Amino acid sequence: MTDLTEKNLFIEDSSLNPVLVGATPLVAILLCTYDGQKFLAEQLQSLESQFHQNWVLYVSDDGSSDQTLEILKQYQAKWPQGKMIIRKGPQQGFCQNFLSLACNVDIRASYFAFCDQDDVWLPEKLSIALQTIITNQNIYVPFVYCGRTQYVTAELKPCGISPLFVFPPSFRNALVQSIAGGNTMVFNLSAKLLIEKAGPVDVPSHDWWTYQLISGAEGDIFYDPVPYLLYRQHDGALVGGNNSFGSKIERVLMMLQGRFQNWNTQNINALKSVSHLLVKNHQEILKIFESLRQASLRDRFRLMEICGLYRQTRRGTFSLFLAILLKRV
């Protein structure tokens, strides 16, 4: 961990409210739904089965037209009063839906967890994440726990596992790669306050943005190599895993078509808009990364080395070099 004096501090003493005190911290689970009737009940049941029971579920529904709201209300009636809070989403896509919850200043707890509508959480998911954060955090510094996922079919049969990443999480990595799905992320109040300060920016995904923002501010990122979540791979999923050969080819094609380049443009613009939240060194790295994208071929690779950009796997590194070579970064 970086020394505290080198980090931005985001919690004032007056912000340390009662939810931070006690042996059983309160977790705000941030669930976004949209036409999720097929798998939603199983997810809600897995939340109910968590070993850590001190949580409140905040649901943002983005205009479902199926039975999603009815299922939510059934569980809301079944659970203790105040255990589930349902609100209307912004209806601007999944990313803005999640950011609408993460940026909501009225949602306060000790810790926060993004939650997808079609996964299944293993019973120890929250307790492991909380134990990890509490053991390693300084509450004045943003801290994000994330990790691998177990890929499963629609019927919950194992069909793979997300890649194992071994290099340290960092802003230099976050600029060119998202290492974990939001469905694995649990973060402390300091991280939540930082996300609030940034606001609902226009970015491709909330999880990649969280990684970039927290690492850019010198917050702590913990990547767990052990999966505690069953990540369904099905036709209705907006974002899926990349364990199959076909999905890997598809991602290369997306890069060649300029999708990765467009995502980087969105992320850079968002980071520039909140550059005051980043540490000085990362502000400079961001400027170099932006100039790299328009530089000559020779200068692109030189600036990449200066930035210290890296991905977590050989295949990822090859894709990054190819993107830089073809000016698709």
**CATH number of the domain located at residue range(s) 4-232 in this protein:** 3.90.550.10
Give the pLDDT score at 12.
45
CA-nearest of 131, 147, 140 to 193 is 140
CB-based contact 7:42 (threshold 8 Å) = no
Instruction: Summarize pLDDT for 157-206 with one digit per residue, the tens.
Output: 999 999 999 999 999 999 999 999 999 999 999 999 999 999 999 999 99
Contacts of 322 (CB under 8 A, 6+ apart): 252, 255, 328
CA of residue 114 relative to chain centroid, distance: 7
Instruction: Summarize pLDDT for 43-80 with one digit per residue, the tens.
Output: 999 999 999 999 999 999 999 999 999 999 999 999 99
Element (H, E) at 299: helix 297-307
Res. 263: pLDDT tops 90: yes
- Where are the chain's structural domains? 4-232, 245-325
Give the pLDDT score at 201.
98
Task: State how far the Cα of 68 lies from the Cα of 234, in Å rounded to an integer.
Answer: 18
Which pair of structure tokens corresponds to residue 78?
Answer: 């079944």
